[in-house]
Amino acid sequence: MLRVHPMAVLDPVARLGRGGLTFFQRLGRAHLFALELLRAMGATLARLRLAIEQMYSVGVLTFVITVVAGLFVGMVLGLQGYNTLVDFGAENSLGVLVALSLVRELGPVVAALLFAGRAGSALTAEIGLMKATEQLSALEMMAVDPFRRVIGPRFLAGFLSMPLLAALFSAVGIAGGYFVAVGLLGVDAGSFWSQMHSSVDFYDDVMNGVIKSLVFGAVVTWIALFEGYDCVPTSEGVSRATTRTVVHASLAVLGLDFVLTALMFGG
């Protein structure tokens, strides 16, 4: 006969409790990490050269993937938009649809998702390996603060790169949409540009997109750096942290996008 310990019924409750504790402990550590990061920002800004070097490597990592993805997303938008608008005889407004979709939403969001997958995971792996190979400990023992020398510059680089990548994504996407609409489907080029020009507002649309991508850049880079810094310093720990970065950063981007969109365009 199967014997069940009377306390076994409480196991799921215990697991839930343990899971909750672990979650809040990690959340607490992530916020302490963010505080430490903010404290190191003065020193990071004083040595901008380090951040610029990191921007270069982050940019190189994500440039090609952003251009290719932006091009295809813009082309799909052109095709889908045309099929819908042509039924109403409004295909001349295709430029507006493509541009607004890109600068308000798809530019910041998709570029941030690509950034999380490419540069975010690379940052986690890099910091995680620095921890596993005792490089962070060595910096501490050389009286060099890793937050000022390693983590701060990478954070600033991610934060500043994100709007540039989102802008690149949107620009290439608009070019892709133009190619499909004007080149393939025969939409009038003048209407495409002039309607876009008159309907896209610099502050309401473009700047809100930039604000979004700054927020996404900060959050994705924060998550990526924290996961690397907090990982179990083994090869298995680093690989798990890399996966967590992509999952958590992507979910954070999508969730925050809703919050920011509601605040900016909700009414």
Both structure tokens of 130: 């620095």
Tell me how far, at minimum, the Cβ of 64 lies from other proteins, in Å.
21
Cβ closest to other proteins, residue 13 vs residue 142? 142
Cβ closest to other proteins, residue 41 vs residue 129? 129
Tell me how far, at minimum, the Cβ of 126 lies from other proteins, in Å.
9
DSSP for 31-77, please give it. Answer: HHHHHHHHHTHHHHHHTHHHHHHHHHHHHHHHHHHHHHHHHHHHHHH
Tell me how far, at minimum, the Cβ of 22 lies from other proteins, in Å.
15
Contact 266, 188 (CB under 8 A): no
Cβ closest to other proteins, residue 32 vs residue 251? 32
Contact 166, 108 (CB under 8 A): yes
Please give the DSSP secondary-structure letter assigned to residue 116.
I
Tell me how far, at minimum, the Cβ of 151 lies from other proteins, in Å.
14
Residues contributing to the site for other proteins (CB under 8 A): 129-130, 133-135, 137-145, 149
Please give the DSSP secondary-structure letter assigned to residue 143.
T
Could you give the CA distance from residue 121 to residue 249 in angstroms, rounded to a whole number? Answer: 10
Q: How far from chain centre, in Å, is Cα 197?
A: 28
Cβ closest to other proteins, residue 1 vs residue 142? 142
Cβ closest to other proteins, residue 26 vs residue 149? 149
Neighbours of 209 (CB within 10 A): 26
Could you give the CA distance from residue 11 to residue 53 in angstroms, rounded to a whole number? Answer: 51
Cβ closest to other proteins, residue 105 vs residue 145? 145
Tell me how far, at minimum, the Cβ of 155 lies from other proteins, in Å.
17
Could you give the CA distance from residue 115 to residue 65 in angstroms, rounded to a whole number? Answer: 9
Tell me how far, at minimum, the Cβ of 228 lies from other proteins, in Å.
14
Please give the DSSP secondary-structure letter assigned to residue 177.
H
